[in-house]
Homo-oligomer: A and B are copies of this chain.
Amino acid sequence: MEVGFLGLGIMGKAMSMNLLKHGFKVTVWNRTLSKCDELVEHGASVCESPAEVIKKCKYTIAMLSDPCAALSVVFDKGGVLEQICEGKGYIDMSTVDAETSLKINEAITGKGGRFVEGPVSGSKKPAEDGQLIILVAGDKALFEESIPAFDVLGKRSFFLGQVGNGAKMKLIVNMIMGSMMNAFSEGLVLADKSGLSSDTLLDILDLGAMTNPMFKGKGPSMNKSSYPPAFPLKHQQKDMRLALALGDENAVSMPVAAAANEAFKKARSLGLGDLDFSAVIEAVKFSRE
């Protein structure tokens, strides 16, 4: 199978490398073209613009850093729109809001092309290991034709219906994550202030029905007040806000997520926005007694 690949950041590079390793013919493009070199050593071809990649390949995957980059690659000069046409599929795996996705979808399908959004859950390591979780929405036939690629990139891909649903599902997952992180933080601080060991609490949680990789992975460093940013707190808070806005649209009252969101905002006001989202525990800890 031959695929185009736009965007060779940390994620995109790992993903396109995986495709090459599994026998795909891959044509890459990156804004800074020199980043393509390593891929070429492993057998990739290179094009000088997104439009050229689209022209050459029936299927093109994009993995860009943010909504702005995702739009630019499609709409700018030399962009996807110049060559997209009937028979071609565009698979945008960048993390963008539903609105951006809908805009791209409209433009692509307006030219006769096919489109799916496919945001992923998982960061660098799962990308390298082909263990991403892929949340696909849009053109179902394109999803099905893309499964061989998704099977290489992720441990599982889901088809979620119309464009925008991928973005929404990701927000909901992240909202649960943010509330859980607050529940966990409050428990760790309460243990400590009650004269119990918060390390022992970790051991106890690890043996019970709530044991999960996040508590195991983050707990020990939280107890040491260390928050190296895997997922920055300000991004977590933004996702809480967007998930609450989704609840607002659909008249779903979510008091626990709302309380968690305010805790993340307090943490931001304490200057912790660039640390890992587990730093929200500092907002719980803070006291003068």
**Of residues A155, A156, A182, A269, which shows the largest number of chain B Cβ atoms within 10 Å of its Cβ?**
A269
> Secondary structure at chain A's binding surface: helix, strand, loop or mixed?
helix
Q: Determine the residue in chain B with the shortest Cβ distance to A230.
A: B209
State which of B135, B214, B245, B258 has its C-beta within 8 Å of the C-beta of A210: B214
20 contacts between A and B (CB under 8 A): A121-B208, A155-B207, A158-B200, A169-B196, A172-B190, A173-B187, A173-B204, A173-B205, A173-B210, A175-B187, A177-B209, A190-B254, A193-B250, A208-B213, A210-B212, A211-B212, A241-B245, A247-B265, A259-B259, A269-B286
Contact: B284 with A265, CB < 8 Å? no
Contact of A133 among B204, B257, B269 (CB under 8 A): B204
How many chain A residues touch B (CB < 8 A): the figure is 79
List residues of chain A with CB under 8 Å of any chain B CB.
Answer: 121-122, 133, 135, 155-156, 158, 160-161, 165, 168-169, 172-173, 175-177, 179-180, 182-184, 186-187, 189-191, 193-197, 200-201, 203-205, 207-214, 217, 241, 243, 245-263, 265-266, 268-271, 283-284, 286-289
What 8 additional pairs, Cβ within 8 angstroms, besides A176-B184, A259-B259, A269-B289?
Answer: A176-B205, A183-B183, A186-B247, A190-B250, A247-B265, A258-B262, A269-B286, A270-B289
From residue A239, how far is it (CB to closest CB) to chain B in Å?
12
A190 touches B243 (CB 8 A): yes
Chain B residue with the shortest CB-CB distance to A186: B254
Q: Which of A175, A209, A243, A283 has the most CB of B within 10 A?
A: A209
Chain B min CB distance to A31 (Å):
30
Check A269 against B251 for contact (C-beta < 8 Å).
yes
Are B195 and A172 closer than 8 Å at their CB atoms?
Answer: no
Q: Contacts of A155 on B, CB cut-off 8 Å? A: 207
| Nearest CB of B to A267, in Å | 8
Establish whether residues B214 and A135, one from each chain, have CB atoms under 8 Å apart when the complex forms: no
Q: For A268, what are the chain B residues with a Cβ–Cβ distance below 8 Å?
A: 251, 289
Q: How far is the CA of A247 from the CA of B268 in the complex (A)?
A: 12
User: Are B204 and A169 neighbours in the complex by a CB distance under 8 Å?
Assistant: yes
**CA–CA, A189 to B168, complex, Å?**
13
Which residue of the partner chain, among B180, B213, B270, B271, contacts A183 with CB atoms under 8 Å? Answer: B180
7 pairs of A and B residues whose beta carbons are closest in the complex: A179-B183, A269-B287, A253-B266, A212-B212, A251-B269, A176-B187, A259-B259
Which residues of chain B come closer than 8 Å to A251, judged between CB atoms? 193, 265, 268-269, 287, 289
